[in-house]
Structure 1
Amino acid sequence: MTENKIKNYIQAVLENMPNDWLNLTTHRLDIYDEQLAKTQFLNQFESLYNKNNFEKSALIELPTAYDYIRLGHPLSSILEWAIANLNHLHSENVISFSSKTIPVMAILRKNLLDNKTTQIFYVDELPKAFNAEKLRDVYGYNFSLTKIEKSEDIVRDRANGTTVFISQNPEIGKPDLNANIDFIVNLYGHLGSVLIVNKTQEKSYISEIQHVRRRETIAMTPANSYTALKILAGNSTYSDEMCHSKNNKFDADKSSVVDSIRGITGSHSKVQVASSGLSIQYAIMMGLVDDALENHKGKAIKFIVPPNCYGGTNDQARRVAACIENVEVIDLLVDGDNEMVKSIESILDKVAHEDAIPYIIAEIPTNPRVEVPNLEKLKTALSAVRKTKNQDIAAAPVFILDQTFCPNVHFLGEGEILSTVKTIAYVSGSKFPSGGRVTAGYCVGNTKTETLMDKIKLHLNLCDNEATDLQYEILAQQLPSMTQRIAEAYKNTREFVNFIHDVLPKANINFVSNELAAQGFTPSVFSLDLPTKGNTDEEREAYKRALNLKLINAMITEIPTECKFCVSYGQLKGSYWTIPATSTQGTTKEGDKDYIVRASLSPKLDLARHKKVFSDFVESIK
């Protein structure tokens, strides 16, 4: 591929690309194949390149790339493809990040697990967020740091393992490649960074690095990928202006977001806003680990997590435990025959006896069964004073509350149900906060967690995972209307759930009761256990799974402009349908997965049409 041909094609693509590539967290969910997500988009894109086809109609038909914006999206994928082809590399060898420190941390994590050391070389200075002391003491990473004048000064010491070169070369697409470098991390200021895997023998790192990007951060954002591609194609020049915020309203936007979050949550704590829900969760987890290492030296740390909760939460907790010797994950059974409060009481008693440090991560309402525990009993269980086996006072738990389903419920403010228990609440911003326009997430605490919030901020900054300027801008636009959108979406969902109950009474519907709704729990998601038949458990399960897909396919086929086969929630319009076992619980153990239908409705949709399609489905299975 010639350099000019690639750049000219990129320029033409940028002029003709679909608006969704820049303005939504997902594109073409109707033709999304999760099994092919890492390859399908670029394979079809390269086919268009070979034909020099950059028509908008052709670009619109390209499938969704990767997974939301965390693992990648159309513009970040094209940026990686272009840099790779300009340097005669495979596109999978180039991985973009919004963060400037996590690409290095991804390599360090892999080497930690492989018991390998890392030599890090850099010119001028390290990223401001790079905190060598914390990376060694808290994350457990093993590395050396060497300042050099130029990349040619790098001398490989085979006994010291992997070499990483952190470069601030301003030319996008022209890395300082040489044989002594295994990985290059090119920093592009405000835009993020690009990691290049330089050697074919380092291929085993690629999936691990991508998984770090999926779980602990995000890819370079669409807006910043777009800017990087313009620079690469020659439409713009890289300058200090590109390295810093171009948003003159940043301070006002950030202040507006903080004020909105405090008003919505009723908490007056410090507010931390991250590039995604999992980015803020990672900062919470590592901040708490740091606090435990500092204030509870030598004690085991237990993260207590529902095994069937959102797969990203489950997976990330286990990834943290895999890297830190005294961290362990304990399963918290919360759904169905298991009641959250009883499970918490039993586990906390055991953890206290062991004199360990308990951190509980839980969703309220739960996912996907949409259950809310008895909050008074939950408060009592979390507040109870417990003793160790030596009869000392055990460490009090920290409750980490994922309230993405109901971000408007006041748990933490003065006089609220969890105001007297150490509690941190967080929300995925790709849902109701932004209406599906950005991935940014946030967290708040109560008055009991002020020092913990400082630790969370430290690790959010260390990972360079704070929300971008554009993410703040969009949240500032969207958050003021959030509570109204929640109310309208709940009204649609309640009406649809009541309708399903009338036309298909044999189905088991998981949704909040009217009593819980009156208390403020007004989610717009429900799960549906369809009636089944068969002579054996295996036959009944197979029949139900086929029926799940039949329903979802009917909805997205009959109402393609509104119904999507996706896990999304809190969007501005339409409805979203999924099977948790194959989507949100993708990394969950098989026995804990839920093969049911989960649906979410928005404030704006054709409810009459939804009812008609569902009625037709019911008629078809009689």
Structure 2
Amino acid sequence: MSTLNTVFDSIKTLLKNLPKNWLELTTHRLDIYRESQAKSEFLSELKGLISQGKIDSNNLEQLPTAYDYIRLGHQLSSLLEWVLAEINQVPDDQVITFASKTMPVLALLRHNTIHNRSTYIYWAENDSETWQGGPLIDEARLKSVYGYQYHMKKVTSVDEVPAHHDDHAMVVFVSQKPLTNNLSVNPNIDITVNVHPTFGSYVVIHHSSTNVKDHGQVPKHSTSAQIVGAVQHVRRRETIAMSPLNCYNALNEVLGISYQNTQLNTDAQTIVTQCIRDNTGSQAVPLVASSGLSIQYAILMGLVESALTTHPDKAIKIILPPNCYGGTNDQSRRVAELIPQVSIVDLLVDGGADLVNSLETTLETVAAEDGVPIILVEIPTNPRVEVPNMQLLGQTLKKQRLTATAIAAIEPTLMVDQTFCPNVQLLQAESELNGVKTISFASGSKFPSGGRCIAGYCAANQAASELMSLVAKHLKLSDNEADARQINTLAETMPSMPDRIIKAYRNTRDFVSRIQTLLPSSKVFYVTETMAKQGFMPSVFSLDLPVNEDSPQERMERQKELNKKLIQFMIGRHPNECKNCVSYGQLKGSYWTIPATSTQGTTKESDKDYVVRASLAPDVDVDSLLQSFAEFCKIHGL
């Protein structure tokens, strides 16, 4: 490993030449990103630049993307983790930063609970100035709802942590030490979680290889690689990485350079609250989290707790589309994996299946089993941008059903991801969903902030308003609430959101209409104009190019090939306007992706959709895009 002074000198130079995008972007270039080498490829090439003395802005901007989306990690989190790894003398991948102060410990508890392993958590009394009773929040709920079991003990110093002879135990120490401290000081400790009072926290996994205390039987616990994977997966699905700005400030703190913390602007919280109410039609106080998946996790766990408390002996059924956004899909299945009473029921909503009809059949089945239905849907659906008949949806959800023994079935609770159309008032008193317990949520990285931050938020209608206190408790124990910079950004951007949505919709409708005229045999998936008049005006559509191969398999492979070539062609022709990116709702340009290779993520292969998904911003040259699209069609004989 490099000497610390050499590393610090290099970081000082790097921070002086820091690319502006490293601090500001929420989504990164997919054309220079290989998911299997997230972080490692970036760090490897960065170290190469440092060794050659080439750490100027131009060279830094050409480095491979560390992660495709900053919720998962980014260039600055990778850089900070490398520096902390050098300080602690462990491999780069064994340091992981979080925006949350509690989720690193919860990630370890989740892993150990699933694998039936003991967890011993120690924390130092002289580090506890900001802790009331320990480093975890709401321990009673962690044990009763999540099922986490552990032993917690306060000590006076790290040296007091004893050796454990339980071959299946994991020993965790939670501290509040300066970033420059080497935390690898007690060999009895497997993992240290170091909490920063402002920036979040980071995990240091001290031992490499198998961590075996070999008595000829079982390893002490998982290999370091398994623990890294488990912790990273929690950061990927239930929380976020330490923010770029906080990573930047943390690096300055390590180097002894002064920095300024972000303060919440006057009235920012009030503005955001009112904007969410205006856009959703909710009268309840909304909640704002660090990301869309952070708020979704709090909602889901709040609803699960409600079900466990109200119906303690009944099975909880999370009903969701198998082809929905990969983060949603994976997160829900991870909750079912953790909590014995919870299971997943697939809900077919796309590709010829109608959401309302599928829901009718599914709810009848759950009712017959006397289960507790929690429904999670995207309106419009993703990726085929379909909106159900809202009146029929409301009727289906309100329908009184009976169990197999002719007892009144439990009414469903509805979670709606309305990220595609965050300005539709699904929660107002006049909504077709009025009377159905409904909580809607949206990712703030899309239209709410125009790509400037990733905070997510939720709101409830009158029927579900009492559930929001439970959601708030799970948001708090996860320490996943939005930070000051996120709230400030939403306060700046949300007032203009309704106008931006309309402008982007008009561009998208124009582009879609002209594609259909140019290429009538193509399959374009977009909301109908009738639905648009009801307020559903997404700026994203999906497209399958026409093919003439003989067999279904040949047609599918040809479509995959053409769809990929289309994206490469459009970006090649418009490198400053077209982005290979999973996002939309941005302020400028257009965004192109194939959901099966990006947003659907861990979705089962058989449920993935290889259509092209594209979106247009309020500021985009539709004529220029169509000219290039027409040229592509001509080249490929479409």
- TM-score bracket, shorter-length normalisation: over 0.9
Q: Which moved more, 1:299-308 or 1:408-417?
A: 408-417
> 2: CA distance between counterparts of 1:397 and 1:173?
51
- 1:235 matched to 2:242: no
Name the structure 1 match of 2:217: none
User: Is structure 2 residue 465 aligned with structure 1 residue 450?
Assistant: yes
Q: Kindly indicate whether residue 235 of structure 2 is the aligned counterpart of residue 226 of structure 1.
A: no
The answer to whether 1:195 aligns with 2:203 is: yes
Contact 1:256 1:476 survives alignment (8 Å): yes
> Which of the residues 418, 422, 427 maps onto 2:442?
427
Q: Report the equivalent of 1:392.
A: 407
- What is the SS of the residue equivalent to 1:195? strand
8 Å CA contact 1:129–1:461 kept in 2: the answer is no
Aligned length: 615
Displacement of 1:156 in angstroms is 2.5
- Counterparts in 2 of 1:198-597, with a 5 A limit? 198-200=206-208, 201=211, 202-203=223-224, 204-236=226-258, 246-249=262-265, 252-597=267-612
Residue number in structure 1 paired with 2:214: none
2:142 to 131, 135, 146: 135
Separation in 1, partners of 2:14, 2:178 = 23
SS of corresponding position for 2:198: helix
Question: Contact between 1:172 and 1:228, CA under 8 Å: does it hold in 2?
Answer: no
Q: Which amino acid aligns with 2:395?
A: T
Cα displacement (A) at 1:30: 4.2
1:102 matched to 2:128? The reply is no
Deviations 1:172-204 (A, max 9, x none): 453253211111000001200011111113412
CA distance in 2, matches of 1:539, 1:273: 46
C-alpha deviations, 1:77-128, integer Å up to 9, x for none?
Answer: 1000111122221110000000011100111111111110100001134566
Matched, 1:144 2:151: yes
Q: Is the 8 A contact 2:501 2:537 kept in 1?
A: yes
Alignment-derived partner of residue 9 in structure 1: 10
Deviations 1:403-449 (A, max 9, x none): 00000001111222212111000001111111111110000001111
Structure 1 residue 612 displacement after superposition = 1.1
Residue 175, structure 1, aligned to residue 190, structure 2: no
Question: What is the match of residue 55 of structure 1?
Answer: 56
Q: By how many angstroms is 1:246 displaced?
A: 4.1
Task: State the Cα RMSD in Å.
Answer: 1.4
Give distance in 2, aligned partners of 1:231 and 1:597: 44
Residue 115 of structure 2 is matched in structure 1 by: 114
Q: CA deviation at 1:68?
A: 1.0
Q: TM-score, normalised by structure 1?
A: 0.97
Distance in 1 (CA, whole Å) between partners of 2:13 and 2:445 is: 30
Unaligned stretches of 5+ residues in structure 2 = 212-222
The C-alpha deviation readout for 1:326-370, integer Å capped at 9, x for no partner, is: 100100001122110111111111111111110000001000111
* Preserved CA contact (<8 Å) 1:166 1:186: yes
**1:261 and 1:129 mapped to 2: Cα distance?**
30
Change over 3 Å in CA distance of 1:177–1:131 after alignment to 2: farther
| 1:171 Cα deviation from its structure 2 partner | 3.4
Q: Tell me how far apart the structure 1 counterparts of residues 585 and 203 of structure 2 sit (CA, whole Å).
A: 33
How many Å separate the matches in 2 of 1:520 and 1:87?
54
Q: Which residue of 1 aligns with 2:68?
A: 67
Q: Which runs of 5+ in 1 are unaligned?
A: none
Structure 1 contact 335–371 (Cα < 8 Å) conserved: yes
Report the Cα offset of residue 39 of structure 1.
2.1
Indicate the SS of the match to 1:31.
coil
Give the secondary structure class of the aligned counterpart of 1:158.
Answer: coil
Could you list the per-position Cα deviations for residues 351-409 of structure 1 after superposition, in whole angstroms to 9, with x for gaps in the alignment?
A: 11111110000001000111111111100110011112222221110010000000000
Contact 2:298 2:472 in 1 (8 A): yes
Residue 232 of structure 1 aligns with an amino acid whose one-letter code is V
2:218 matched to which residue of 1? none
Per-residue deviation at 1:53?
A: 2.3
C-alpha separation in 1, matches of 2:24 and 2:441: 24
Kindly indicate whether the alpha-carbon contact (under 8 Å) linking 1:177 and 1:198 is maintained by their aligned counterparts in 2.
Answer: no
Answer whether contact 2:123 2:135 (CA < 8 A) is retained.
no
Whether contact under 8 Å (2:28, 2:581) holds in the other structure is no
Summarize the Cα distance change of 1:503–1:348 in structure 2 as closer, same or farther, 3 Å threshold. Answer: same
- The more displaced of 60-69 and 445-454 is 60-69
Distance across 2 between alignment mates of 1:255 and 1:85: 43
**SS of aligned partner of 2:513:** helix
CA gap 1:87/1:170 in 2 versus in 1, 3 angstroms: closer
Match of 2:165 in 1: 158
Letter in 1 for 2:98: F
1:369 alignment partner, SS class: coil
Percentage of pairs with the same residue: 48
- Larger mean CA deviation between 65-74 and 420-429 belongs to 65-74
What residue is the counterpart of 2:220 in the other structure? none
Q: Is the 8 A contact 1:302 1:359 kept in 2?
A: yes
Contact persistence 2:29–2:580 (CA under 8 A): no
Q: Distance in 1 between the 2:163 and 2:588 partners?
A: 55
Report the Cα distance in structure 1 between the residues aligned to 2:435 and 2:561, rounded to whole angstroms: 47
The 3-state SS of whatever aligns with 2:377 is strand
Structure 2: distance between partners of 1:612 and 1:34: 33
Whether the 8 Å CA contact 1:95–1:195 is kept in 2: the answer is yes
Query: Structure 1: how far apart are the matches of 2:206 and 2:98?
Result: 17
- Picking from 606, 625, 629, the partner of 1:614 is 629
Instruction: Say which SS state the counterpart of residue 163 (structure 1) adopts.
Output: strand
Deviation of 1:553 after TM superposition, in Å, equals 0.6
Q: How far is the alpha carbon of 1:252 from its aligned partner?
A: 2.0
SS at match of 1:475: helix
Within 2, Cα distance between the matches of 1:44 and 1:36? 12
SS at 1:63's partner residue? coil
Contact 1:7–1:234 (CA<8 Å) still a contact in 2?
Answer: no
Contact 1:503 1:618 in 2 (8 A): no
Separation in 1 of the partners of 2:463 and 2:182? 50
Cα distance in 2 between the residues matched to 1:248 and 1:473: 6
State the alpha-carbon separation in 2 of the partners of residues 103 and 458 from structure 1: 18
Contact 1:83 1:173 in 2 (8 A): no
Give the Cα–Cα distance (whole angstroms) in 2 for the partners of residues 553 and 384 of structure 1.
48
Contact 2:318–2:343 (8 Å) recurs in 1: yes
Contact 1:173 1:232 in 2 (8 A): no
- Name the CA shift for 1:417/1:326 in 2 (closer, same or farther; >3 Å): same
Q: How far apart in 1 are the matches of 2:283 and 2:418?
A: 17
Q: 1:579 to 1:172 in 2, by over 3 A?
A: same
Task: For residue 591 of structure 1, give the secondary structure of its aligned residue in structure 2.
Answer: helix
